[in-house]
Amino acid sequence: MSDQTSPDIIYTKVDEAPELASASFLPVIRKFAAAAGVSIGTKDISLAGRIISAFPEKLSDAQRQGDDLAELGRLVKTPEANVIKLPNISASVPQLVAAIKELQTQGYDLPDYPEEPATEAEREARARYDAIKGSAVNPVLREGNSDRRAAKAVKSYAQNNPHRMGDWAADSKTRVAAMDGNDFRSNEVSATLGQQTGAKIVLETDAGETILKDGLTYPAGTVVDATFMSAAALDAFLADEIEKTKAEGVLFSLHMKATMMKVSDPIIFGHAVKAWLAPVFEQFGDKLDALGVTGNAGLGTLLEKVADEPEILAAIDAVTATRPPMYMVDSDKGITNLHVPSDVIIDASMPALIRGGGKGWGPDGQEADCVCVIPDNSYAPVYDEAINFFKANGKLNPATAGTVQNIGLMAQKAEEYGSHPTTFEIAEAGTVKMVLEDGTVLHSHAVQAGDIWRSASARKAPIEDWVNLAIDRQQAEGCEAVFWLDATRAHDAELIKYVTPILEAKGVSDKFQILAPREATRQALETITKGDNHIAITGNVLRDYLTDLFPILELATSAKMLSIVKLMQGGGLFETGAGGSAPKHVQQLQSENHLRWDSLGEFCALGESLQFLADARGNEKARVLGQAVDAATQGILDNNRSPERKVGQPDNRDSHYWFARYWAEALSAQTDDAELASHFAPVAKALADGEEAILSELTNAQGGTADLGGYYHTDPAKTAAVMRPSATFNAIIG
């Protein structure tokens, strides 16, 4: 094994479908890695694991577990870091509450999530839980900027096996609706700090000053933003769009990110629920308040809380009958767009709708055009321009399309809008000020009660690293490269002040363009339609959106993207794609014992991680192992060994057998390391000889229900039994 004191590679324990797949795939990785002296460790960053680690004093020794996320946060700031990160749950409040309840039923003495904490103990519990919800993991681990692209083998496969695309009609009624003022985009102010400073955020009212946040510190060169969204303007916009949608005869849909934007977007979501049921809230406001209904947790939670109130239920039905039909999450079960904040995530929902020809599913189980409501106008133009482009030009052809890569600014919590403790729902009218330690008022906004005020920042070192990473990628690819920055937007204008001098100093200004997101969207679509490639160089939120939008159009999924985070201290973080579809995959496994999750993202990340390890530590056996991973991944694609959708067809477990076999065959055939070739020759033979028995055992395991012992906190033994059902395969892998 490795002579390092810690594992060579850390594989993260996460949630839902990616974690179930790990139960099958990790034994394979460990079997093969051991032959190259590579040790594989795990760290638990799952939602359940983070909940458990937050309340050690309430649990038994057997139940208690350490704060693995904090440990990983320290590791990624060292040159030794080599982490393979699978997609984890960014929990909305309903998901957090569900996970807590499940753990409680398993004997964990955890406090309930207090919606309205009244005691000191409840406030303490709420603070611990709030640190877990939303995008709590990624800002801790992402100590570097993002390099996301489709691996060549994946892109080639998508071109040779083009997926189905919905047809676009030139007269499609689908459109994007966004606020035309008084939103985060229009109210934004930004400044670059000339020196290191402390800061505080205060609310000044007629009654005096309230400190919203104290103890902030910013290094010199940090870009610091502040903005707010007017609650009154939001409510007027939502009411207007509901009426417009009804007049147009299409589906009403709301597209938010109440997971990553864990403070701002649930509040906006709540405004949408209240706008939809405005007459109900007007008539029964006091009663709904008494029942603890806010709207922020969604229509589903609201309906649960009024289940014993027939008068309110009747009023809801009456109002719903006057509304336009709503975009549905599950029309068979009556689950609407507004039921759960985390059900419709903009970076997954909008690309799927665009890929489908602008159609969404309505309450009648039929597809229809949609009004796509994206209240804040910061990035709504990206989706608006994409829809306009396809209306004019027809659907993208995946067989001939080029590709959009992304270089994303995200290191050291850059641009973490909404998911951090500097976002506030304003309690009373006044002025919010950001005040520096010398008394200078950096930013100031006059606000009303209910407005949503937020601040974010981006430090100098990550910004410079981001620009230099973009220069390196453009040099490597030689293709069109565009900074998606809007010179008329306050924050982007500050970033441009960094970008332009660096490009000029490096003598590469002629290799790059700077375009606002709308114009950049059109150029990128024109470029890939011609079969050429485009590098989109973006901030953090737009990175999140684009690395779903373009992969879903090009590849049918974002789960197969190569996602490399070059950590600023020299380590590597290898992400494995998106997990937006993971819940549906788990539901299918539980009901049919068929897991259609595709581990291709893990395959790509594993190959990169092993080759990074070889470079970092001089382990040439790891390099051979990584090169063989790439060959195995190519084998999966060339031979169509990826999971299929229906029970009885090959699933995730079958793909792991084929990956192990192709990996062993590649290692036994290579000539760079005779010892590895000799070691894996009998493994390859055993896997080939056992093909019929293994595939039969895997197929026979499908059908019927699968007991995992939980959803958020599964039982390891039960999960292993479900995910490793082939005795023949297990005997070879160990």
pLDDT in tens, 79-132: 999 999 998 888 888 899 999 999 999 999 999 999 889 999 999 999 999 999
Which of 155-159, 249-253, 654-658, 724-728 has the lowest average pLDDT? 155-159
The per-residue pLDDT for range 527-580, each reduced to its tens digit, is 999 999 999 999 999 999 999 999 999 999 887 888 899 899 999 999 986 655
The per-residue pLDDT for range 315-372, each reduced to its tens digit, is 999 999 999 999 999 998 999 999 999 888 999 999 999 999 999 999 999 999 999 9
Q: In 299-327, which positions are buried (b, 16+ CB within 10 angstroms) versus exposed (e)?
A: bbbbeebbeeeeebeebbeebbeeebbbb
pLDDT over 70 at 611, yes or no: yes
Q: In 353-363, which positions are buried (b, 16+ CB within 10 angstroms) versus exposed (e)?
A: bbbbbbbbbbe
Residue 130 token pair: 């709030």
The per-residue pLDDT for range 255-295, each reduced to its tens digit, is 999 877 888 999 999 999 999 999 999 999 999 999 989 89
Given this model, what pLDDT does residue 308 score?
Answer: 94
Nearby residues of 714 by Cβ (< 8 Å), 6 or more positions away: 19, 20, 708
Given this model, what pLDDT does residue 262 score?
Answer: 80
Given this model, what pLDDT does residue 3 score?
Answer: 35
Taking the C-alpha atoms of residue 704 and residue 647, their distance in angstroms, rounded to an integer, is 10
N- to C-terminal Cα separation, the chain: 17
Is the pTM of the predicted complex or chain greater than 0.85? yes
Where do we find the tokens 């800061």? 199
pLDDT over 50 at 718, yes or no: yes
Domain residues of the chain, as ranges?
230-377
The pairing of beta strand 82-85 with beta strand 572-575:
parallel
Where do we find the tokens 């079969």? 531
Q: What average pLDDT does range 49-77 have in this prediction?
A: 96
Average pLDDT taken over every residue of the chain = 94
Taking the C-alpha atoms of residue 477 and residue 532, their distance in angstroms, rounded to an integer, is 11
Q: How confident is the model at residue 385 (pLDDT cuts 50, 70, 90)?
A: very high
Taking the C-alpha atoms of residue 667 and residue 31, their distance in angstroms, rounded to an integer, is 13
Which of 9-23, 147-161, 621-635 has the lowest average pLDDT? 147-161
The sheet with strand 208-218 has its strands ordered as 208-218, 197-205, 430-436, 441-447
What one-letter code names the amino acid at 343? D
Are 84 and 609 spatial neighbours (Cβ–Cβ below 8 Å)? yes
Taking the C-alpha atoms of residue 302 and residue 291, their distance in angstroms, rounded to an integer, is 9
Where do we find the tokens 């009654």? 207
Are 352 and 552 spatial neighbours (Cβ–Cβ below 8 Å)? yes
Are 525 and 536 spatial neighbours (Cβ–Cβ below 8 Å)? no
pLDDT over 70 at 418, yes or no: no
What one-letter code names the amino acid at 672? D
Q: How confident is the model at residue 416 (pLDDT cuts 50, 70, 90)?
A: confident
What one-letter code names the amino acid at 29? I
What one-letter code names the amino acid at 510? D
pLDDT over 60 at 4, yes or no: no
Are 176 and 383 spatial neighbours (Cβ–Cβ below 8 Å)? yes
Count the Cβ atoms, other than its own, within 10 Å of residue 622: 25
pLDDT over 90 at 618, yes or no: yes
Taking the C-alpha atoms of residue 510 and residue 127, their distance in angstroms, rounded to an integer, is 50
